[in-house]
Chains A and B, each alone.
Chain A
Amino acid sequence: MNVETLPAWSAVPAAILLVLGGLCTLIGSLGLLRLEQFFQRMHAPSMGTTLGTGCVLAASVLVSSALANRPIVHEILITVFIVITAPMTAILLMRAAAKRSGARHE
């Protein structure tokens, strides 16, 4: 059984989730490219990549569950990991940038 014989209840939501995830990630990375200051650029990728990862992993759960005829949820691991670690990286980078730009003295 492969992707060509997926039933509709998993193929259509998976397609919608994949398109949404791709768009979110692309918008986030375009924000990283186009925004002007570092503190503005900080926003875009952390939101876009987290949302895009969630969408793509939900699509992956749908497709692999439909392929194996039983619920497979180990992709949730990556989602939980990204959701936990993305804000930590963002906070550390933000503090480093604030210190380097002299905006805040601790």
Chain B
Amino acid sequence: MKALMEFALLEFAIGFAQLCFVLAMLCAAYRLFRGPSAQDRVLALDTFYINGMLTLLVLGIRSATTVYFDVALLIALFGFVGSVALAKFLLRGEVIEP
């Protein structure tokens, strides 16, 4: 009975966290499409990929595999590179300076 309650608690927490991340992704997607300026869209994309990474991590906790961890690490790496490239482009007008 006790183990069943703890299992239900963790299941509830995982479902709640996934719901929160999906709602957060919806907010970021709305800002991405609506955003009045270019820097708003870049910031929304940054939030969007971090939320997607967190969704994958929670999925990894639920299924108790480590594959999702590697995918999340890759998303974090490439998302950071993309955000910095876009911000640099907004700042200077080109990404790689001669």
Contacts and interface: CB of A to CB of B under 8 A. Distances in A.
Interface residues of A, number: 54
Give the dominant DSSP class at B's interface.
helix
A18 B14 contact: yes
Contacts of B54: 21, 25, 49, 52-53, 56
B51 A49 contact: yes
B57 A56 contact: yes
Interface string B19-48: 111011101101100000111101110110
A18 B11 CA distance: 10
19 contacts: A3-B10, A12-B9, A14-B13, A18-B10, A22-B18, A26-B23, A29-B27, A41-B40, A42-B43, A45-B28, A45-B46, A52-B54, A56-B54, A56-B58, A78-B72, A85-B76, A89-B84, A89-B87, A93-B43
Given A60-B57, A92-B88, 20 more contacts: A4-B7, A11-B7, A11-B9, A11-B10, A14-B61, A25-B54, A26-B20, A26-B24, A29-B27, A45-B28, A49-B51, A56-B57, A57-B57, A60-B69, A78-B53, A81-B80, A82-B50, A89-B46, A100-B37, A100-B90
Interface of A: 1-6, 8, 11-12, 14-16, 18-19, 21-23, 25-26, 28-30, 32-33, 38, 41-42, 45, 49, 52-53, 56-57, 59-60, 63-64, 67, 74-75, 77-78, 81-82, 85, 88-89, 92-93, 95-97, 99-100
